Amino acid sequence: MMWPALVLYLLIHSSEGRNVTLVKFQTDGVASMESMLDAGVGRIPSLTQVTVCLHFRLLHGGKRVPVVSYVVQGFDNELLIGLSWNEHSLYVECCRDMVVEDLPLVVTLYTWQHLCVALDLIDGTLTYVFNGELNKKEQIIDQSKMRGGKRVQMEGGGRLTIGQELESLEGDFDITQAMDGEIADYKFYNVILTPEEMVSFTTCRKGPSVSSNTPLLTLNNGLLELKGPTTKSNISEYEICKKMTSYLILIPKKEEFEGSVTTCEKLKGTLALPKNAEDNVNIVDKFQHFSSHCEDSFLSLFWAGAKGNVSTGQWVQLTDGEPIPWHNFSGSSSPVRAQHQCITVFGRNTRYFWDETPCSGFTTSCPLCNFTSRPLLRLRGLCQSTWFDRELYLNDYENERPKVDGALHSRVVWDNTSWVMVSRRHQGLKAVMYADTSDTFPIGLRKWTISGDKCAQRQVELLLTLCSKEEFTCKDGTCIHRDKICNSYNDCLDHSDELNCEVIKVPRGYSEDNFPPSFTNDPLSIYFLINITSIRIFDLTSFTIAIDAIWHTKWNDSRLTFTNLQTNYQTNKARQWQRVWMPMLQVTDGTKSLVKKGQRAGVLYVIRRTEPLLDDEQMINEDHRYSGDNNTLMHQQQDTLEFKCHCDLRLYPFDTQRCYLVFRVQDLTHTRGALLKVELELSNQYRYYLANVFLPSFMLSLVCCLTFCFDLDDFTDRIMVTLTSMLVLAGFFAQTSQSNPKTSYLKLIDVWYLVLICEVFGIIVALVYVENLRLGPQNHRTTKIAPYSAPTANTRHKDISAPGPNTGHKDTPPRSNTGHTGKLVVVNRFLVGAFLCTSIIILICFCVIGMNAINDCGGVLVPWRNYIQ
């Protein structure tokens, strides 16, 4: 009766150190379809409730790696509970496809995780608890697959395995679904556990047995048979349940202190520091076998992550600057001295001592790096269909060097002569790294020779980097955020982030002579914008215009890809623009002749319009890439264009000129491409002419009209004023003509002058006529001779029959002669009116013509118009 009591005693008192059974699959390091736990055929009855609980630790991922695989005659996956590392999911399938669930669950490698899955076919619920987190899904049974009201159940009599996926009763396993790792405390129940029980199991809560129910299958009840390279052992529950906070890797390469710090930093870790005596002993014992690699003349094993502060005399931790919690210096407390500011830890043979040493100089030791989890690495540069893993972890050692273990099956190891990449699944698959020295580590950009891979690549450069997907690897191995590449700041210490900043990637086979292809029937659209900044020359007399203009052409070229685009397009200047197709513009003017251009070269920019493409791990470089479909190329050119313009000056100075510039893409036929026509509309600044030409000349003509109002007898003044006006008008005319463009036809301004001159001429004629009228018809062509002695006022109309002796003397007409006044005044008045009317009519006519001409362009200068035909 002593035994049960003792067992109970042990169970209770060793609750912390309770041992559970552990099964390890694939123990011989190669992927095999032999390694599994097999319950055999016929051991499992029909079930309506199933619960599976286990602790697991996977060393490699896989797709639907089974924790339960159960088949019956004629149907595989009668029950499959599988873990998908790639897809972060838990896959549950049961009962002839009536239950198929893919549930979110993030499986991490190398750490112990705890899972319970309860499938209740009566309620149609699925409950799963992962690391203490409870999830429940209801109505999991697909009613459409139910047959004839039969009870939904998992059929009995089949075969059950753990660690391999059964396709039939005979096996037909799938190597990609083989489990590599360990399971512990496995329990398969034919009942549903309560959520509390499952949470208790998955959080390793201490206490009495997890469930009072007896499991159908455990690792110990003799029903599960170990097959293939599989081992069974005991492990304390404490080992399984303790949180892994740190993971240590010693790099077996001697370095100075600062070098060790950066080595660990590049691996995204920190230099380790033992915190107590037990820690110290454990760590030293674990890495003691590296002593031959690390010990120098001082026989120290590794650098401690602490440094002395001379001013305070304290030893402080590198991580947080706090004083170190524990030390094992050979003396009592060792003061910090200026020459000795670093600590090395000694090996077992030197009794785990610590010693203060110089940080540099001839003291070297190994870096011992502390990580919170296994450092994740990425392999870039392999083709799409490669068998090698792209995601790897720094994990453990092989042949005394750190090993980089792929997430699925490949690994990078030192084979005593070189670094190789081999696979535990594919025998012939191998890649050998080329290295100058034997201690080159494979992290970074290295040359590899590949054999046996699905890709045709033989000699390739591969980049093994610790940087995450959002980061860029500097040449020295440090990581910066991708957005910082090519942003004109040196973010990498070695400046490698600003080295390859060409924004355009021209693919092989690209021809700059061919137009960008279009996948639709639409023509290639080229956007064109011209910005005339100034009019440099405007010479109307020679019909020459020179303008300063900036013009942009924009188009999309789907053949290209772009890299590292910034939102500000001016940063995205292309240097390789000669290798890219550009719409070469030919500019002709209204006279159909080529326009003279300066020889200023343009600039090609890329305008970013979309988010970057998804990262492509086939590329070594980690630049952001952008598709050519949606991001736009922009060519910007600034130049002076000198061209001729056909001017129609009939309405000058109220004219509006339309000048054309035709931008044509060279080599483009009318049927295929677009013509761009820029029309310049230039209207004359007529106000100048109003003040300088029209107003004075019109006033002169008015003055001429006004001469009719002068004294009728004062012919001299009348004719003089008119003649002078005419002279002045002619002078004006000559002067304006000189500064105006010369044309074969009459311009409006010429007509104006001509009309005015004609009018003045008419006035002169009229004046002479009036004068003649005044002199009278009877005096016409007669010379009146009056006697010298009798000059009387009333002799003017005397008969000519009395000729006087004073021949030759012309008689001055009397000042006022009312005899003819009535008729004369009428004629004079009529002429004043007529000529004033003429003047006003002339003015109105010109106003109307001028206003019409001005209204044509609204009186403002329209800078440019853009036509796309």
Ligand X SMILES: *[C@@H]1O[C@H](CO)[C@@H](O)[C@H](O)[C@H]1NC(C)=O
Q: Which residues bind ligand X (CB under 6 A)?
A: 14, 17, 19, 232-234, 236, 245-246, 272-275, 277, 280-281, 309, 311-312, 328, 330, 351-353, 370, 372, 399, 415-416, 525, 527, 531, 533, 554-556, 609-610, 629-630, 632
* Alpha-carbon gap, residue 555 to 559, rounded angstroms: 12
Please report how close the Cβ of residue 310 comes to ligand X at its closest, in angstroms.
7
Q: Which two tokens stand for residue 597?
A: 């251009």
Nearest to 342 by CA among 271, 270, 253: 271
CB of residue 177 to ligand X, shortest distance in Å: 27
The nearer residue to ligand X, 92 or 240, going by C-beta atoms, is 240
Enumerate the β-bridge partners of residue 49: 120
Q: Cβ closer to ligand X: 158 or 269?
A: 269
Instruction: Give the span between the Cα atoms of 165 and 179, in whole angstroms.
Output: 9
Burial 851-867 (b: 16+ CB within 10 A, else e): eebbeebeeeeeeeeee
Q: Which is nearer to ligand X, 378 or 608 (CB)?
A: 608
Which residue, 629, 460, 634, 610, is CA-closest to 561? 629
Q: Which helix (H) or strand (E) holds 241?
A: helix 237-241
Identity of the residue, 328 or 410, whose beta carbon is nearer to ligand X in the bound complex: 328
CB nearer ligand X, residue 384 or residue 534: 534
CA distance 804 to 821: 28
3-class SS of residue 515: coil
Q: How far is CA 339 from CA 245, 262, 311, 335, 353, in A?
A: 34, 21, 13, 11, 19
State which residue, 276 or 511, has the beta carbon closest to ligand X.
Answer: 276
Instruction: Let me know if 554 is exposed, middle or buried by CB neighbors in 10 A (0-12, 13-18, 19+).
Output: middle
Concatenated DSSP letters of 262-280: HHHHHTT-EE----SHHHH
Minimum distance of ligand X from residue 103's CB (angstroms)? 32
Beta strands in 193-318 (DSSP E): 217-218, 225-227, 231-236, 247-250, 270-271, 300-309, 314-317
User: Minimum distance between the CB of residue 247 and ligand X, rounded to whole angstroms?
Assistant: 8
Structure tokens at 269: 């870790």
Between 583 and 850, whose beta carbon lies closer to ligand X? 583
Q: How far is the CB of 264 from ligand X (least distance, A)?
A: 11
**Shortest approach of ligand X to residue 498 CB, angstroms?**
28
CA distance 101 to 142: 10
* Four-residue CA torsion sign, 147, 152, 157, 158: positive
Cβ-based neighbours of 42, under 8 Å, separated by 6 or more: 157, 158, 159
Half-sphere CA count of 661, side-chain side, radius 13 A? 26
Nearer to ligand X, 228 or 274 (CB): 274
Residue 409: in which H helix or E strand, if any? none
Give 552 or 809: the residue with its C-beta nearer to ligand X. Answer: 552
**Measured at the alpha carbon of residue 394, what is the angle toward residues 62 and 33, in degrees to the nearest 5?**
30
Q: How far apart are CA 675 and CA 282, in angstroms?
A: 81
Q: How far is the CB of 630 from ligand X (least distance, A)?
A: 4
Q: How far is the CB of 101 from ligand X (least distance, A)?
A: 33
Q: How far is the CB of 611 from ligand X (least distance, A)?
A: 7
Minimum CB–partner distance for residue 231 and ligand X (Å):
8
Q: Which of 383, 457, 396, 446 is nearest to 420 (CA)?
A: 446
Please give the distance of CA 321 from its chain centroid, rounded to a whole number: 40
Taking the complex as a whole, how short is the minimal distance between the CB of residue 181 and ligand X, in angstroms?
18
Nearer to ligand X, 500 or 610 (CB): 610
Rounded least distance, CB 273 to ligand X, Å: 5
Contact assessment for residue 665 and residue 677, using Cβ atoms and an 8 Å cutoff: no
151/128 Cα distance (integer angstroms): 23
**What is the distance between the alpha carbons of residues 773 and 847, in angstroms, rounded to a whole number?**
36
Sign, CA dihedral 360-364-365-369, equals positive
Q: Which is nearer to ligand X, 338 or 860 (CB)?
A: 338
Cβ at position 239, least distance to ligand X in Å: 9
Q: Match 């005419």 to its residue by tokens.
A: 726
CB closer to ligand X out of 416 and 671: 416
Distance of closest approach, residue 604 Cβ to ligand X, in angstroms: 14
Nearer to ligand X, 273 or 379 (CB): 273
Closer of 525 and 778 to ligand X (Cβ): 525
* CB 81 to ligand X: min, Å: 26
Residue 14 vs 724, nearer CB to ligand X: 14
